[in-house]
Protein backbone atom coordinates (compact mmCIF):
# COMPACT_ATOMS: atom_id res chain seq x y z
CA UNK A 1 0.00 0.00 0.00
CA UNK A 2 1.27 3.46 -0.93
CA UNK A 3 0.73 6.55 1.22
CA UNK A 4 1.47 10.27 0.91
CA UNK A 5 0.84 13.13 3.33
CA UNK A 6 0.51 16.89 2.86
CA UNK A 7 -0.84 19.80 4.85
CA UNK A 8 -4.29 20.93 3.65
CA UNK A 9 -3.89 23.99 1.44
CA UNK A 10 -6.28 26.40 -0.24
CA UNK A 11 -7.21 25.44 -3.83
CA UNK A 12 -3.94 23.50 -4.38
CA UNK A 13 -1.83 23.34 -7.54
CA UNK A 14 -1.59 20.36 -9.90
CA UNK A 15 1.44 18.77 -8.25
CA UNK A 16 -0.60 18.30 -5.08
CA UNK A 17 -3.12 16.18 -6.96
CA UNK A 18 -0.47 14.31 -8.93
CA UNK A 19 0.96 13.16 -5.61
CA UNK A 20 -2.50 12.20 -4.39
CA UNK A 21 -3.20 10.30 -7.63
CA UNK A 22 -0.16 8.05 -7.10
CA UNK A 23 -1.13 6.60 -3.73
CA UNK A 24 -3.82 4.50 -2.06
CA UNK A 25 -4.27 6.82 0.92
CA UNK A 26 -3.51 10.54 1.25
CA UNK A 27 -3.18 11.96 4.76
CA UNK A 28 -4.15 15.59 5.27
CA UNK A 29 -1.90 16.94 8.05
CA UNK A 30 -4.55 19.09 9.67
CA UNK A 31 -2.73 19.01 13.02
CA UNK A 32 0.46 20.56 11.62
CA UNK A 33 1.39 24.08 12.70
CA UNK A 34 -0.30 26.86 10.75
CA UNK A 35 1.95 29.33 8.91
CA UNK A 36 0.60 32.78 8.13
CA UNK A 37 0.71 33.96 4.51
CA UNK A 38 1.42 30.41 3.32
CA UNK A 39 -0.35 27.98 1.00
CA UNK A 40 -2.44 26.99 4.03
CA UNK A 41 -4.64 30.04 3.45
CA UNK A 42 -3.96 31.20 -0.11
CA UNK A 43 -3.21 30.27 -3.69
CA UNK A 44 -2.88 31.87 -7.10
CA UNK A 45 -5.09 32.25 -10.14
CA UNK A 46 -4.17 33.60 -13.56
CA UNK A 47 -5.45 36.81 -15.08
CA UNK A 48 -4.48 39.31 -17.79
CA UNK A 49 -1.78 40.75 -15.53
CA UNK A 50 -0.33 37.37 -14.52
CA UNK A 51 -0.64 35.37 -11.33
CA UNK A 52 -2.55 36.91 -8.44
CA UNK A 53 -3.35 35.76 -4.93
CA UNK A 54 -6.63 34.64 -3.45
CA UNK A 55 -6.22 34.73 0.33
CA UNK A 56 -8.57 33.46 3.04
CA UNK A 57 -8.58 35.93 5.98
CA UNK A 58 -7.94 34.06 9.21
CA UNK A 59 -7.60 34.56 12.94
CA UNK A 60 -4.69 32.51 14.22
CA UNK A 61 -2.32 32.38 17.19
CA UNK A 62 1.39 31.62 16.97
CA UNK A 63 1.97 27.86 16.83
CA UNK A 64 -1.70 27.02 16.40
CA UNK A 65 -2.58 23.78 14.56
CA UNK A 66 -4.18 24.24 11.14
CA UNK A 67 -7.28 22.45 12.40
CA UNK A 68 -7.85 25.14 15.05
CA UNK A 69 -7.50 28.18 12.77
CA UNK A 70 -10.67 30.23 12.29
CA UNK A 71 -11.84 32.02 9.15
CA UNK A 72 -12.00 35.73 9.98
CA UNK A 73 -14.44 36.90 7.28
CA UNK A 74 -17.44 34.77 6.37
CA UNK A 75 -17.98 36.64 3.08
CA UNK A 76 -14.47 36.20 1.65
CA UNK A 77 -15.52 33.49 -0.80
CA UNK A 78 -17.90 35.81 -2.62
CA UNK A 79 -14.99 38.10 -3.44
CA UNK A 80 -12.94 35.12 -4.60
CA UNK A 81 -15.73 34.02 -6.93
CA UNK A 82 -15.97 37.50 -8.40
CA UNK A 83 -12.21 37.50 -8.99
CA UNK A 84 -12.47 34.15 -10.74
CA UNK A 85 -15.37 35.29 -12.90
CA UNK A 86 -13.47 38.40 -14.00
CA UNK A 87 -10.09 36.78 -14.61
CA UNK A 88 -11.48 33.71 -16.39
CA UNK A 89 -14.09 35.47 -18.52
CA UNK A 90 -12.30 34.20 -21.64
CA UNK A 91 -11.78 30.62 -20.42
CA UNK A 92 -14.15 28.15 -22.16
CA UNK A 93 -14.99 26.05 -19.09
CA UNK A 94 -14.99 28.80 -16.47
CA UNK A 95 -18.74 29.21 -16.12
CA UNK A 96 -19.27 25.53 -15.32
CA UNK A 97 -16.24 25.30 -13.00
CA UNK A 98 -17.11 28.45 -11.06
CA UNK A 99 -20.75 27.37 -10.70
CA UNK A 100 -19.60 24.10 -9.12
CA UNK A 101 -17.17 25.93 -6.87
CA UNK A 102 -19.92 28.31 -5.80
CA UNK A 103 -22.05 25.32 -4.78
CA UNK A 104 -19.25 24.03 -2.55
CA UNK A 105 -18.82 27.42 -0.90
CA UNK A 106 -22.56 27.86 -0.40
CA UNK A 107 -23.04 24.36 1.00
CA UNK A 108 -20.67 25.00 3.91
CA UNK A 109 -21.37 28.68 4.49
CA UNK A 110 -20.79 30.34 6.83
CA UNK A 111 -17.26 28.94 6.92
CA UNK A 112 -15.64 29.27 10.34
CA UNK A 113 -12.89 26.61 10.20
CA UNK A 114 -9.99 26.95 7.74
CA UNK A 115 -9.26 23.23 7.68
CA UNK A 116 -12.89 22.29 7.05
CA UNK A 117 -12.92 24.78 4.18
CA UNK A 118 -9.69 23.61 2.58
CA UNK A 119 -10.57 19.93 2.97
CA UNK A 120 -13.97 20.45 1.32
CA UNK A 121 -12.32 22.24 -1.60
CA UNK A 122 -9.64 19.55 -1.90
CA UNK A 123 -12.35 16.88 -2.06
CA UNK A 124 -14.18 18.84 -4.74
CA UNK A 125 -11.06 19.34 -6.85
CA UNK A 126 -10.16 15.69 -6.36
CA UNK A 127 -13.50 14.70 -7.84
CA UNK A 128 -13.24 17.15 -10.74
CA UNK A 129 -9.79 15.79 -11.60
CA UNK A 130 -10.91 12.16 -11.37
CA UNK A 131 -8.61 11.26 -8.47
CA UNK A 132 -10.15 8.47 -6.40
CA UNK A 133 -7.60 8.23 -3.58
CA UNK A 134 -8.85 7.82 -0.01
CA UNK A 135 -8.39 10.95 2.11
CA UNK A 136 -7.62 10.67 5.85
CA UNK A 137 -7.28 13.47 8.41
CA UNK A 138 -4.09 13.08 10.44
CA UNK A 139 -5.91 14.27 13.56
CA UNK A 140 -7.98 11.08 13.45
CA UNK A 141 -4.94 8.77 13.57
CA UNK A 142 -3.20 9.74 16.82
CA UNK A 143 0.33 9.40 15.43
CA UNK A 144 2.71 11.68 17.31
CA UNK A 145 6.40 12.41 16.69
CA UNK A 146 8.34 14.80 14.49
CA UNK A 147 9.28 14.88 10.80
CA UNK A 148 10.10 11.46 9.36
CA UNK A 149 9.27 9.60 12.56
CA UNK A 150 5.72 10.91 12.48
CA UNK A 151 5.28 10.15 8.78
CA UNK A 152 6.54 6.62 9.36
CA UNK A 153 4.03 6.19 12.19
CA UNK A 154 1.24 7.38 9.90
CA UNK A 155 2.29 4.72 7.40
CA UNK A 156 2.29 2.15 10.20
CA UNK A 157 -1.21 3.17 11.35
CA UNK A 158 -2.64 2.73 7.86
CA UNK A 159 -0.64 -0.37 6.90
CA UNK A 160 1.43 1.33 4.18
CA UNK A 161 4.71 -0.22 3.05
CA UNK A 162 5.66 2.64 0.71
CA UNK A 163 5.73 6.39 1.34
CA UNK A 164 5.67 8.81 -1.62
CA UNK A 165 7.05 12.25 -0.82
CA UNK A 166 7.51 15.55 -2.64
CA UNK A 167 11.17 15.88 -3.60
CA UNK A 168 11.46 19.01 -1.44
CA UNK A 169 11.41 16.76 1.65
CA UNK A 170 14.26 14.54 0.45
CA UNK A 171 16.94 16.04 2.73
CA UNK A 172 15.18 15.62 6.05
CA UNK A 173 13.69 12.24 5.11
CA UNK A 174 17.20 11.01 4.31
CA UNK A 175 18.25 12.16 7.80
CA UNK A 176 15.26 10.32 9.29
CA UNK A 177 15.68 7.18 7.16
CA UNK A 178 15.93 4.93 10.23
CA UNK A 179 12.29 5.64 11.10
CA UNK A 180 11.23 4.05 7.81
CA UNK A 181 13.88 1.34 7.65
CA UNK A 182 12.94 0.03 11.10
CA UNK A 183 9.37 -0.46 9.86
CA UNK A 184 10.31 -1.86 6.41
CA UNK A 185 8.75 1.13 4.66
CA UNK A 186 10.20 2.14 1.29
CA UNK A 187 10.46 5.88 0.58
CA UNK A 188 10.28 7.25 -2.97
CA UNK A 189 10.04 10.81 -4.25
CA UNK A 190 7.49 12.34 -6.59
CA UNK A 191 8.77 13.58 -9.94
CA UNK A 192 6.26 15.94 -11.58
CA UNK A 193 6.86 18.11 -14.63
CA UNK A 194 4.17 20.74 -14.88
CA UNK A 195 2.14 20.05 -18.06
CA UNK A 196 1.20 22.82 -20.45
CA UNK A 197 -2.36 23.40 -21.63
CA UNK A 198 -4.53 26.02 -23.25
CA UNK A 199 -4.66 29.46 -21.60
CA UNK A 200 -6.07 32.63 -23.23
CA UNK A 201 -2.67 34.35 -23.29
CA UNK A 202 0.40 34.35 -25.53
CA UNK A 203 2.63 32.27 -23.26
CA UNK A 204 1.85 29.53 -20.76
CA UNK A 205 2.06 30.36 -17.04
CA UNK A 206 2.49 27.36 -14.67
CA UNK A 207 1.97 26.93 -10.93
CA UNK A 208 -1.52 28.35 -10.56
CA UNK A 209 -4.29 26.63 -8.61
CA UNK A 210 -5.76 23.53 -10.23
CA UNK A 211 -8.84 25.70 -10.80
CA UNK A 212 -6.91 27.27 -13.69
CA UNK A 213 -6.70 23.93 -15.50
CA UNK A 214 -10.40 23.21 -14.93
CA UNK A 215 -11.49 26.63 -16.21
CA UNK A 216 -9.41 26.28 -19.35
CA UNK A 217 -9.64 22.58 -20.20
CA UNK A 218 -12.70 21.19 -18.39
CA UNK A 219 -13.17 17.46 -19.14
CA UNK A 220 -9.57 17.09 -20.37
CA UNK A 221 -8.19 18.05 -16.95
CA UNK A 222 -7.50 14.52 -15.70
CA UNK A 223 -5.57 13.48 -18.80
CA UNK A 224 -3.55 16.69 -18.73
CA UNK A 225 -2.77 16.27 -15.02
CA UNK A 226 -1.34 12.82 -15.71
CA UNK A 227 0.87 14.12 -18.51
CA UNK A 228 3.13 15.56 -15.81
CA UNK A 229 3.77 12.18 -14.16
CA UNK A 230 7.33 10.90 -14.22
CA UNK A 231 8.87 7.82 -12.64
CA UNK A 232 10.33 8.63 -9.22
CA UNK A 233 14.11 8.88 -9.51
CA UNK A 234 15.24 9.33 -5.90
CA UNK A 235 14.90 6.76 -3.20
CA UNK A 236 15.78 6.05 0.39
CA UNK A 237 15.64 2.28 0.40
CA UNK A 238 14.59 0.29 3.43
Q: What is the pLDDT of residues 204-234, one digit of tens each?
A: 999 999 999 999 999 999 999 999 999 876 5
> What pLDDT band is residue 238 in, cutting at 50, 70 and 90?
very low
Show the domain range for 149: 2-236
> Which is more confident, 169 or 105?
105
pLDDT for the residue 148 = 87
pLDDT for the residue 235 = 56
- Residues 115-156: pLDDT tens digits? 999 999 999 999 999 999 999 999 999 877 778 899 999 999
- Residues 27-54: pLDDT tens digits? 999 999 999 989 999 999 999 999 999 9
Q: Confirm whether pTM is higher than 0.85.
A: yes
- pLDDT of 237 higher than 50: no
Q: Interior CA angle at 31 toward 229 and 124, to 5°?
A: 50
Beta-carbon contacts of 181 under 8 Å, excluding residues fewer than 6 positions away, are 238
Going by the DSSP 8-state scheme, the letter that residue 233 receives in this structure is: -
- Residues 159-198: pLDDT tens digits? 999 999 998 888 888 888 999 999 999 999 999 999 999 9
CA–CA gap between residue 120 and residue 83 (Å, rounded): 20
Task: Please state whether beta strands 25-28 and 2-6 pair in parallel, antiparallel, or not at all (unpaired).
Answer: parallel
- The proportion of the chain whose per-residue pLDDT surpasses 90, expressed as a percent, equals 87
CA–CA gap between residue 89 and residue 91 (Å, rounded): 6
Q: How many domains does the chain have?
A: 1
pLDDT for the residue 23 = 97
CA–CA gap between residue 101 and residue 119 (Å, rounded): 13
CATH number at residue 228: 3.40.50
Amino acid sequence: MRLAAMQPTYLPWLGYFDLMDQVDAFVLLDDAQFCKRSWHQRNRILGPDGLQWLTVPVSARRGQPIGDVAVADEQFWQRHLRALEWNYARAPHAADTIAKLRAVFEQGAPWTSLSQLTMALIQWLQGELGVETRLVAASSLGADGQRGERLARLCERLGADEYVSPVGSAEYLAEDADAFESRDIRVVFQHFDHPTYSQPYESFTPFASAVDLLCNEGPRARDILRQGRRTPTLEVAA
